[in-house]
Structure 1
């Protein structure tokens, strides 16, 4: 019986490690579709791709390049010409601002000098008119001169969690206290209480109060003589410090301020000071009073 030749087994080929990603591999290997490749080859065979072949097309391309270069050159030249003009205008504007600022500073200095001169003339007129020793007292009480002496320092501030009160108009409501904010009438009561307790001069945030001073609200701001104040409100009062503090805290206005602190979180702090300094009022204008004339004189 003839012997069968041995059957040779073909060794197994090793599988590719990325065989499971055949679709992704095919996309990576053939990123350009065959149709695009055929179209590119056809255009190249027909001479449609690359640089223009005819003289007319070459001249058109050259003209386009020249025009583009001309536009870029003209733009750059205009920018270069305009740059010094813009820089000069900027320098002129800065110089003008500096001049106007210097002029405003000089005017402000002149106003301060004239105000001091008017105050000095007012004091001199009081002395010459027979005021004598009372002239200085009148100036102090009227707020026309700077004062200093023992007194108290009272700081009134909004509550820590004070709200703005929404869109309500404070002129149409009872005030800010229910929102944790100090209102104008709160400061009015504080100032009136200090006057009633024996204060000889009072200021709020450096604003000297006189008999003509007004404390009012405008929107969410508190104005003193039409100047807006920013909390905390520091009230300085000249007087018998310890007695002034005691009288104020025991008065109805002092108890009112304490109630604001307890019920609405208004923050207050009062201290007795050995020496407090209050500036003069910005302007003291007499609107109605007339100087007294002797009999037989006009």
Structure 2
């Protein structure tokens, strides 16, 4: 009898994933059958197959070589350690000895510099003849006290902020800060106005003093100064103050105050005390012959310090 087709009403419905039979097989059998059989054989024999004799010999040789290298390195380190420590101690001793020698030389230089300065001051004081007080005053060889003025120059408020301006030149930007060239004009203006002696922040100035800049710092004879800059000048207080403010350099300082906010104040002082200059340079003048006869005048024949 021919087979009857199944009744669709009584047949079981097909699986929803019937079309993904290959994917289902991969998911259900993720481990290949060959791997499963190899793992079963290894478990039956009780562990991995034994290594060959050659592999064991190579492994033993490698271990022996590594142990030999480590042993030689440790022995070399133990042998060289005392030598390295000795060299280090010798180097430290040499550094300490050289440092002590340099400190001693620095103290000697300071002492000799002080002696030279004292001898120069005495030479200027005692070789000026009848003009000894004037020579000592103008050269800065002695401390001086008398009436004068006090001029304080300070940076503008908020001068840390940068910005360009007409004073920008030579690498300096207009920040409202007092520059070395400003102090140069102030000091020169005081000299021209009749000041007999000048000091900035306790640093006595002479005819050979230099006011320079290092970065944004002002140096007077290579010593840095910090604002505010207090300038003391010996002279007739009221007359000196008036003459300076009316001079071109006084007007320059006033322009800085008006245009850039630089702060300044000047006042007459009944007594101003200025220290002696820390270092002096003394030169000697040679007699000048009159008409080639080799005779010198009384004025030029005297030894005196020159500014």
TM-score, normalisation: structure 2 = 0.61
After superposition, the C-alpha distances for 1:165-215 in whole angstroms (9 at most, x for unaligned) are 7xxx944xxx74634343332111111122234433323455432212233
The equivalent position to 2:205 in structure 1, one of 206, 209, 218, is 209
Alignment of 1:169-208 (within 5 A): 170-171=169-170, 176=172, 178-204=174-200, 207-208=203-204
Compared CA separation, residues 294 and 200, structure 1 to 2 (3 A): closer
3-state SS, counterpart of residue 236 of structure 1: strand
2:120–2:280 contact (8 Å) kept in structure 1? no
For residues 275 and 164 of structure 1, the distance between their equivalents in structure 2, rounded to whole angstroms, comes to 38
3-state SS, counterpart of residue 207 of structure 2: coil
2:193–2:244 contact (8 Å) kept in structure 1? yes
Shift of residue 103, structure 1, vs aligned partner? 2.4
Give the number of aligned pairs: 256
After superposition, the C-alpha distances for 1:40-70 in whole angstroms (9 at most, x for unaligned) are 96598399x9696233322221221222233
3-state SS, counterpart of residue 209 of structure 2: coil
2:200–2:232 contact (8 Å) kept in structure 1? no
Q: Structure 2: which 5+ runs fail to align?
A: 1-29, 289-295, 303-307
1:145–1:281 contact (8 Å) kept in structure 2? no
Compared CA separation, residues 78 and 164, structure 1 to 2 (3 A): farther
Matched, 1:234 2:233: no
For residues 194 and 62 of structure 1, the distance between their equivalents in structure 2, rounded to whole angstroms, comes to 95
Residue of structure 2 in register with 1:105 after alignment: 103
TM-score, normalisation: structure 1 = 0.63
After superposition, the C-alpha distances for 1:140-168 in whole angstroms (9 at most, x for unaligned) are 32123445666525243366234387xxx
3-state SS, counterpart of residue 51 of structure 2: coil
3-state SS, counterpart of residue 152 of structure 1: strand
Q: Structure 1: which 5+ runs fail to align?
A: 1-32
The equivalent position to 1:119 in structure 2, one of 113, 117, 120, is 117
Alignment of 1:1-298 (within 5 A): 34=31, 38=35, 42=39, 45=42, 53-126=51-124, 129=127, 131=129, 134-147=131-144, 152=150, 154-157=152-155, 160-163=159-162, 170-171=169-170, 176=172, 178-204=174-200, 207-216=203-212, 222-225=218-221, 227=222, 229=224, 231-232=226-227, 234-239=229-234, 243=238, 244=240, 248-249=244-245, 251-268=247-264, 276-286=273-283, 289-290=285-286
For residues 115 and 71 of structure 1, the distance between their equivalents in structure 2, rounded to whole angstroms, comes to 63
Compared CA separation, residues 193 and 60, structure 1 to 2 (3 A): same
2:211–2:220 contact (8 Å) kept in structure 1? yes
